[in-house]
Amino acid sequence: GALNNDMIGWANDHRLDNTIRYSNAGIRDVQHAAAMQFSNLITYDALYYKGTDAAAYYEAWGDIVGGIGSYPVLGNPHYHQTHDLLDTINHQLVTEVARTTAATLMLLASSPSRLADLKVESYSAGTATVSWKASPEKGVTGYIVAWGPAEKPEAQQTRVAKPTATLTRVAPGSVVSVKAVNAKGLEGWDWARVVVK
């Protein structure tokens, strides 16, 4: 994952609030949790869209980006202007964003990253066999495999030790999601997903 903080110090009404801008829902959720548990920051969120500064990250590496910034949701009037000066910055807000960012980085660095190459090997009569590339990180002890309809993709879950699983009662169109778990019990910060066809 990657964090792309930008324009974090502007406060429009002296509230300690800022926007999590993201392309990855897992990183978004980690940032919200970090803000709630380790800072006084009030957070909102907005999905990145093409034409933002994160578009290059997304095009190169996929949906791995999160970050905090007061533009565009809070509408910083100083964004890329000559009057974007030190006296327009709320330093307590910068401190709260720094706390949130440090906590986010600690969890991202301590927990397994998103798995790669998840695919459906076979599907017949409601039974699906899925596989994925083993986590490259040391200390991974197993995987959580979840499956269900798109509106509730984690309806059923199982744990496995190897990078493959055979699942039963799988309907066509079900979403299968997998993430790694390490020896400390920390789960990966994002699910790898595939749709059963």
Per-residue pLDDT of the chain (197 residues; tens, 9 = 90+): 888 888 888 888 878 999 998 889 999 999 999 999 999 999 999 887 666 666 677 777 778 888 998 765 567 888 788 988 888 889 999 999 999 999 999 999 999 999 999 999 999 999 999 999 999 999 999 999 999 999 999 999 999 999 999 999 999 999 999 999 999 999 999 999 999 99
Beta bridge partners of 179: 144
Scanning 91-183, the segments in alpha helix (DSSP H) are 91-110
Q: Are strands 156-160 and 2-3 parallel, antiparallel or unpaired?
A: unpaired
Alpha-carbon distances of 26 from 38, 63, 173, 178, 186, rounded to whole Å? 18, 10, 22, 13, 14
For the chain, the maximum distance between any two Cα atoms, rounded to a whole number of angstroms, is 66
Task: Specify the DSSP element, H or E, that contains 45.
Answer: strand 42-47
Tokens standing for residue 33: 């949790």
Pick the CATH number of 2-110 from 3.40.30.10, 3.90.1530.10, 3.40.630.10, 3.40.50.2030: 3.40.630.10
Look up the CATH superfamily of 119-195.
Immunoglobulins (2.60.40.10)
CATH 3.40.630.10 in the chain, residue ranges: 2-110
3-class secondary structure, 99: helix
